[in-house]
Structure 1
Amino acid sequence: MSGTGQAGTGVRRYLSWYWFPIIGSIVWIATLLSLLITWIADGSPYYESMDPSGQTIAYISDIGADYLKPLFITGCSITSVCFVLSLFGARWLRHRGRILPNTSTTQRVFSIVAIVGAIIGSVGLILLAIFDTRRYTTLHRVFLTVFCGGVLISALGTVLEYWRLQRNHRTSRAINISMWTKFIFFVIEFALAIAFGILLRNRNHNAGAAVEWVLAILFTGYLLSFNFDLLPAARSYTGQFKDVELTPPVSSHY
């Protein structure tokens, strides 16, 4: 290791990309808990945006459209920025060889797809908070769809990138664990997103609200999972992982 690399290692333990998923997940879960606890503490009130025909469980956006809207916008904005930077950080660190690098153009394409999906989803999350469900119902639902779609595209891109990556790094237990963690998240979130859409369409709002809360809480774990990917960079130096021996791929065109 070079002298410069050794000097920078200590600093990166405190200033590194791995802080973004930590900050994002903390802010997101804190925002959700603040909304939920406030709603419960207020006696589970009925909000103007709720369906008058039997809805008793508030959607996240119902609470976020009331006097806690500034908190909701702030939480969504910080989470969105951290989400995008977590994915961009992984791409940059792989390019720099500070974590296991991409070994093919296909992997890089999937990585870029994941980043683009994250950007789309993040823009949707910020806009759905700004255009709240009480005043801008149609726009809010459009941006909610954009958020869910963007996150799912991002998750799929990440899973495919890691699937191809682990073909050349089969001895890396970390890559394998991360791939399966994100794959499980994608499957569960995709299934719940479909269920949420059906429940919303059928105006089954209590069940739909419950599913939405579960979806949002699970997103915390997904975002935090990137900390596991980025953490090695806190102690690595540029180019360290570029010399890692690759496992021969199944066929040469990979």
Structure 2
Amino acid sequence: MPFYSPVQMTFQRVCAWSGVVCVALFFTAFVVAGFVPPLSPNDSAEKIARHYREHQVAVQVGGLLMLLSGLFYAAFTAVVSAQMRRIPGVHRTVDYAQLAAGAFGCVTFLIPAMLFEVTAFRPERDPAMTQLLNDFSFIFLVMPWTPFLTQNWSFAFAILCDRRERPLFPRWLAYVNLWAPLIFSPSVLLPFFRTGPFSWRGLFVVWIPAIVFIAQFVVNTWMLLRAIRDEQDQQVIAADGAGSMDPRDAPALTA
């Protein structure tokens, strides 16, 4: 076991809190840009172009906040991986799947953010072009739920593999991460609807998933902070020579 390092524990806590910061920045970006509720996919090209002309700076600031949210999502993904490695018997493939999916998840923050910036950069352009860029931005932002499915299910699988008497994470957290991404799945229907609950501003594609997304991040952050505190306690005990290693600190990943 590595010696106790307060700096490393603090860094892990910062990464864990990054999940909440990511969500806060992401939804603040929508408020600032005037995208609450989102522009309707059924709006005319002129109406969409008018929004970007009248809210140019606001959309640009919102795009910047969205860009920053992707940075914090990467940090959150990293600490999830670090804690997954503490679970013995979990193959490294599970960890890699979570990391790779998390990296792809970051892209779903970064590319729409840059597209919003491009759209607002020249609001005087042809309204049809502005509408095209706006469509691209919202579809790319809302539709890709599959990386989050892979990431959450990998995390859930690792939790369910922990058969110890005192597991690192409670089993109910696995079920939260199994079910939450399924709530996001109606987004695959948004290309077929411009109005109603399955459009990119609809109940089943935006509002319910948004509530679940926030709740899931809060719960996962809470459990990660608890796991980090447990790791710190075990390292302090080992550094002081006051006790034996907790079985939870056994090598986590098999070859």
Which structure ranks higher in relative contact order (CA pairs < 8 Å, sequence separation ≥ 6)?
A: 1
User: What letter matches 2:78 in structure 1?
Assistant: F
User: What letter matches 2:178 in structure 1?
Assistant: F
Change beyond 3 A, Cα 1:142–1:70: closer
Change beyond 3 A, Cα 1:10–1:51: closer
Specify the alignment match of 1:236 in structure 2: 231
Contact 1:22-1:224 within 8 A present in 2 as well? yes
User: What letter matches 1:16 in structure 2?
Assistant: V
- How many residues end up aligned between the 2 structures? 227
Shift of 1:73: 0.7
Change beyond 3 A, Cα 1:168–1:39: closer
- Aligned-partner Cα distance in 2 for 1:157–1:92: 14
Shift of 1:85: 1.4
Shift of 1:87: 0.7
RMSD of the TM alignment (CA)? Answer: 4.4
Q: 1:77 aligns with which of 46, 53, 67?
A: 67
TM-score (norm 1): 0.66
Structure 1 stretches lacking a partner, 5+ long: 41-46, 247-252
User: What letter matches 1:204 in structure 2?
Assistant: T
User: What letter matches 2:180 in structure 1?
Assistant: F
Deviations 1:122-165 (A, max 9, x none): 33332332243865443443454444455432332321342244
Specify the alignment match of 2:105 in structure 1: 118
Change beyond 3 A, Cα 1:213–1:245: closer
- Aligned-partner Cα distance in 2 for 1:129–1:236: 41
Shift of 1:9: 7.8
Change beyond 3 A, Cα 1:243–1:33: same
SS of the counterpart of 2:232? coil
Q: Which deviates the most, 103-112 or 148-157?
A: 148-157
Contact 1:9-1:234 within 8 A present in 2 as well? no
Shift of 1:26: 2.1
Task: Give the fraction of aligned pairs with identical amino acids, expressed as a percent.
Answer: 8
Q: 1:197 aligns with which of 176, 180, 191?
A: 191
Change beyond 3 A, Cα 1:34–1:222: farther
